[in-house]
Amino acid sequence: MNTPSNPLAHARIAVLGYGSQGRAHALNLRDSGLDVVVGVRKGGPSWEKARAEGFNVAEPAEAVKDADLVAVLTPDMVQPKLYKEAIEPNIKPGAALLFAHGFNVHFKQIEPRKDIDVILVAPKGPGALVRREYEIGRGVPCIWAVYQDVSGQAEAKAKAYADGIGGGRAMLIKTDFKEETETDLFGEQAVLCGGASALVQAGFETLVEAGYQPEIAYYEVLHELKLIVDLFYEGGITRMLEFVSETAQYGDYVSGPRIIDAATKERMKEVLKDIQDGTFAKAWIAEYQAGLPNYKRYKQADLEHPVEEVGKRLRARMPWLKAAAQPAAEPLQKTG
């Protein structure tokens, strides 16, 4: 039976999906002494990969049937169909349904059965980092939440799962599905992906249109951005200011607010409002159901932007980037 200290000690965990996060979670949980079965489509590359790495592998519906905890680690847009076809008819009463991102539950694309626990555990890092940190005896901080608790152990299950993937070695932060979903989407759209890429493209265009060489512009607004982001990552704005020149610091102070000003913040608030009221979710769901026509057009425009054409030529002359690029190539999305 489950022990009070670890309700998953004698439980079977079904990990659905064996992409970036799925593989890392499954391996870490197994190495933590937990019983793991991987649920993926038979015959696909993930099926063979999981089997080669020693897991019991089953079709999702079969994996769910005997599981005490089902971790849904597939992409957001395939989860509602997966839930309806494989999870809802098969998950045991009192079992736990776990997500690494709250999108579908928060926006009612999945309405979980009332007789199961519904929890969230989201490592704050890509799967490769989650695995690598675990292997060296450390862990990646995790946020966790409880949406539905029918067993009286939902919180304990979430924390035990987070411990199992290494999060307890670092830090566990309590949240809820609403906060996790809305802040995650905002971060991606306003800063990490949308904001950063648009800033880089605008900076590149500004320099090239002013007559500067595209190669020089690439290095100044894209290539060197990694140096600054690494400093942010290691020690925040404080560390960045310690390592850039006084000239760069002064430029930061006087010109930064000219680029990111009150009007920018107001537009960020508009982005956040669209996330909070469901406007973004409705648009994204409709886009996916329509076959991604706008998504494909937007993506192609980014891929064909001159900064990408110049960057491809320059990166070919920087062989040291190839090894370093492997982890960075992993999708930001936490449920691969």
Query: Do 42 and 166 belong together in one domain?
Result: yes
In a domain, 159, yes or no: yes
In a domain, 181, yes or no: no
Locate 145 and state its tokens.
């939440």
Query: Do 112 and 139 belong together in one domain?
Result: yes
Annotated binding site for substrate: 245
| Domain edge (last residue) among 176, 208, 234 | 176
| Domain edge (last residue) among 176, 200, 219 | 176
| 21 contact partners, CB below 8 Å, separation of at least 6 | 73, 100, 123, 126, 127, 130, 334, 335, 336
Query: Do 63 and 18 belong together in one domain?
Result: yes
Query: Do 69 and 17 belong together in one domain?
Result: yes
In a domain, 8, yes or no: no
Q: Tell me what pLDDT residue 44 has.
A: 87
Q: Tell me what pLDDT residue 324 has.
A: 59
Domain at 156, CATH number:
3.40.50.720
Query: Do 87 and 196 belong together in one domain?
Result: no
Rounded Cα distance, 239 and 231, in Å: 6
Q: Tell me what pLDDT residue 330 has.
A: 40
Edge-to-edge strand ranges of the sheet holding 142-148: 56-58, 35-39, 12-16, 69-72, 96-99, 117-123, 142-148, 172-174
Q: Tell me what pLDDT residue 321 has.
A: 87
In a domain, 255, yes or no: yes
Query: Do 106 and 230 belong together in one domain?
Result: no
Query: Do 70 and 144 belong together in one domain?
Result: yes
Angle between helical axes of 279-289 and 293-303 (0-180°, round to 10): 90
| Domain edge (last residue) among 128, 143, 176 | 176
Sign of torsion over alpha carbons 79, 47, 96, 125: negative
Q: Which domain holds residue 201?
A: 192-260+292-324
- Which active-site residues does the annotation give? 101
Q: What is the DSSP letter of 13?
A: E
Q: Tell me what pLDDT residue 322 has.
A: 75
Number of structural domains in the chain: 2
Query: Do 170 and 134 belong together in one domain?
Result: yes
pLDDT in tens, the chain (336 residues): 344 579 999 999 999 999 999 999 999 999 999 999 999 999 889 999 999 999 999 999 999 999 999 999 999 999 999 999 999 999 999 999 999 999 999 999 999 999 999 999 999 999 999 999 999 999 999 999 999 999 999 999 999 999 999 999 999 999 999 999 999 999 999 999 999 999 999 999 999 999 999 999 999 999 999 999 999 999 999 999 999 999 999 999 999 999 999 999 999 999 999 999 999 999 999 999 999 999 999 999 999 999 999 999 999 999 988 755 554 434 444 443
Alpha helices in 12-115 (DSSP H): 20-31, 45-52, 60-65, 79-82, 103-106
Rounded Cα distance, 252 and 256, in Å: 5
Annotated binding site for Mg(2+): 184, 188, 220, 224
Query: Do 150 and 205 belong together in one domain?
Result: no
Which H or E run includes 279?
helix 279-289
Query: Do 214 and 101 belong together in one domain?
Result: no
Query: Do 171 and 196 belong together in one domain?
Result: no
In a domain, 284, yes or no: no
Longest dimension (CA), the chain: 72
In a domain, 185, yes or no: no
